[in-house]
Chain A
């Protein structure tokens, strides 16, 4: 999971002014937050409403009690709710800022702990001020507003391939593991409650069913907490996806168990039919949730097909459809979390193919922003609710709960891994098991579910809540803080930071086909066979429906290649062009090093030259000019996501650029002779200059730079390829036949300098008009952390 917080600790600034200033600001915020409600509460009569009323009343009677016109008035009630909400959000964001200014602290203590502490402080302050603590972790607020952004963020950026590969394992942990936990904890708690000797113990009154209900609430691993902690420890992808996937998928189990036990607590007994119904209910909840999500996902994908004229609201569709899928699932008591995940995962490959680059960035940023704020708020509220909530502390109950949680988790993980390893190729080692067990954090979902309990049905609700909060605190503080040093200690494999290279992509696909082929030869309908079938189905039917235009036919490899090129191009531009090369290893290797050496070009070139009568040059220039427009369109489209020129992209009517290109080309043509014998160094913008200098040591003989923007250069000749000769021939014929377009593209070797072409950003978010000024504006946006997970195609 890429880091949402993008932590960058400014070295050395930590101590002084900004930090103190921030602390001061935060204190002021607290004061304001607590004073204002105070003010409003203690003097409700100063409301404008009252004024108006008295005024009107006065007017009706006699008009002699005329007040002075209120120049400045205080009316808090009018804006109270939005104000408080904004204040909370502001507080959360400032907290986030603050923590990153204190690098040492955020290194030791995970953010979630700090936030809970802040929540405790704020809650304490409010209580001290004598105010009623607002019911911040009201379950409706939590489930309807705070939870969805986090889950959507997780679902939209879910790495599909590892998730699918490990789906069996994840399901085992999620379903069987949670069931085991729930029954183990619930059952043993009941047993413990019963065995209290002698003194009349309040625990005796707890029935089995409430215990089981409590067990089911407390047993589910919480996605928010897991995300918060795991994000910071950067463990390898497998473990991350296992724990995280489990936390997402166990929602279905939790929902079913919760409702089951809640219903039957009233009845008092559970029969076998009820159990069977429970199982069926589970299937309905899980599959139903996924279906609802998938339907909305497909709707969203379909809608995005038509948004080419209204790019601005594209992100809105993504968000609204996803949220509606969540709400729809919740409406039917299906698993909202699974719906949201399914929606995000299903719609992503198609939506990404349809929307503009800017919308893509918008979606990414908004999701990260909302989920970040949500998470912060959740932890703060947890702290506040702790201070507030009616507590009923019972030593036995609470300690037994904590211990049982740990024990159940460990036994569950070990037992399940033993079974799972029989079926896995990449077995889970003991270290892995430990991390999985240790990473089973509980969080706010458990608390909210407890909060929802009916007081009448569950007289021991407060005790439950206290126990839940203790478990949450224990897991988040103790386990959260110690997991990082433990990971270091055990030398668990960390996340690979390397970007996916084109070679890896090629071979991944190659391997897929190879393994499918071998399976077919063996007559075994395995894993790969069905995956392949699904891919073909996807390509043949689904993509055609859901992806607009030509993109639907684009093969995966090509899509990947374009994305990679664009990323490199954007990086190059952002880094100021050539100062920092996008490739991991700065190398001096360029295209000509790998082009096979042909016999000395001089001869064939010279042969070509005399064949060019003077008169032809004009003709060639004309042809070049006209062909270049077409070429440029095609080539430009190569560098973006569309394979044909997308006329809808904003700002595409940049004839200005074309004109400038023509001017350049004229200059080039004049020096055409030079080009054929000397390595090409077309007129470059300064950006291009630096890029070429850095990556191609041959760029000494530079033409005087024009202020034209970096553009695709028709590299008319690379020194060692006689393709240049063909080029001339082609151009001559090009006027008559347009089919030569394709040939030309290949021979021009334009695509072949990935590290040195900032002209790549034809499409990129920033600008299509490639003015220098606009480019620098783009530079000021550092963008998300570089190793954002790649947009992976559906079933890559």
Chain B
């Protein structure tokens, strides 16, 4: 008992160093992980699918997919896994860390890039480095998927308009015959500049100072 305690503590500490969470948070997340996986070592897509609260989410497929996407593991691998362990789970979660008061401007930039990269990977499903019109259309369709027929009709138009906007902002002068291949990561960064991702894309409970965390309770 004592031995396994320190072993897991050491593992947690090691993870804490790598992902930037505090050991407290890692413990809570671990509890949640156990709950989701049914006390197994890994979780699969079905485990995440079975969370009832996710049922109402229009983009749940993409979210679940993001957990199994190797690109989000920061190890320069591509492809997707079938099952992930706690470490990979944490890695994905670490994308939602907020900046602290001590984060410098360069670190904030890096944080923003990282979060944008996460979003980009969610959109770029075929991993060719660009978000093509079809992929973007799919994104908008999923967003509007809960809105029935009205959503489907307008999705295409909206996606096209959005794409046009990206193209106009980034490559203002295209000859009539040029073809805009797709949104590259640089263009993606450019158009979402105004949103200040580093402060918007975070989960509150990952805030380092907060001690109230309900992660781990069996309410799902």
Contact = CB atoms under 8 A, between A and B. Distances in A.
Interface of A: 421-423, 425-427, 496, 498, 501-504, 506-511, 513-529, 532, 536, 553-555, 557-558, 561, 565, 583-597, 638, 643, 696-698, 742, 745-746, 749, 751-752, 754
19 contacts: A498-B194, A503-B192, A506-B143, A510-B119, A514-B122, A517-B57, A517-B60, A518-B63, A518-B93, A523-B217, A554-B150, A557-B144, A558-B144, A558-B150, A558-B158, A561-B157, A587-B171, A594-B160, A752-B160
Given A585-B168, A596-B133, 12 more contacts: A421-B101, A496-B194, A510-B119, A510-B143, A516-B57, A521-B51, A522-B29, A527-B204, A536-B56, A557-B143, A592-B176, A596-B134
Interface in B87-123: 93, 96, 98-99, 101, 119, 122
Contacts of A501: 165, 191
A589 B59 contact: no
Interface in B189-219: 191-192, 194-195, 199-205, 207, 209-210, 213-219
B169 interface: yes
B169 A506 contact: no
Contact of B139 (A510, A587, A594): A510
Contacts of A754: 161, 164
A524 B205 contact: yes
A585 B162 CA distance: 14
Contacts of B63: 513-514, 517-518, 521
Contacts of B29: 522
Contacts of A514: 59, 63, 119, 122, 201
Contacts of A515: 96, 201-203
Contacts of A509: 143
B158 A523 contact: no
B133 A594 contact: yes
A523 B167 contact: no
A529 B53 contact: yes
Interface in B129-155: 132-134, 139-140, 143-144, 146-151, 153-154
Contacts of A523: 32, 35, 214-220
B28 to A, nearest CB: 9
A524 B203 contact: yes
Contact of A585 (B57, B151, B169, B218): B169
Contact of B220 (A496, A520, A584): A520
Q: Which 8 residue pairs are nearest across A and B when measured between Cβ atoms?
A: A587-B172, A520-B53, A751-B157, A587-B168, A517-B63, A555-B147, A589-B167, A589-B168
Given A510-B139, A585-B168, A592-B176, A517 B192 contact: no
B58 interface: yes
A639 to B, nearest CB: 10
Contact of B167 (A423, A526, A594, A696): A594
B179 A593 contact: yes
Contacts of A593: 167, 174, 176, 178-180
B150 A553 contact: yes
Interface of B: 29, 32, 35-36, 48, 51, 53-54, 56-60, 63, 93, 96, 98-99, 101, 119, 122, 132-134, 139-140, 143-144, 146-151, 153-154, 156-158, 160-169, 171-176, 178-180, 191-192, 194-195, 199-205, 207, 209-210, 213-220
B214 to A, nearest CB: 5
A752 B156 CA distance: 9
- With most chain B CB atoms within 10 A of its CB, the pick from A525, A589, A742 is A589
B176 A594 contact: no
Given A422-B209, A501-B191, A522-B32, A553 B147 contact: yes
Given A525-B219, A558-B150, A597-B179, A591 B164 contact: yes
B220 A502 contact: no
B180 A589 contact: yes
B204 to A, nearest CB: 5
Contacts of A595: 133
A588 B150 CA distance: 31
A527 B201 CA distance: 13
Nearest to A695: B168
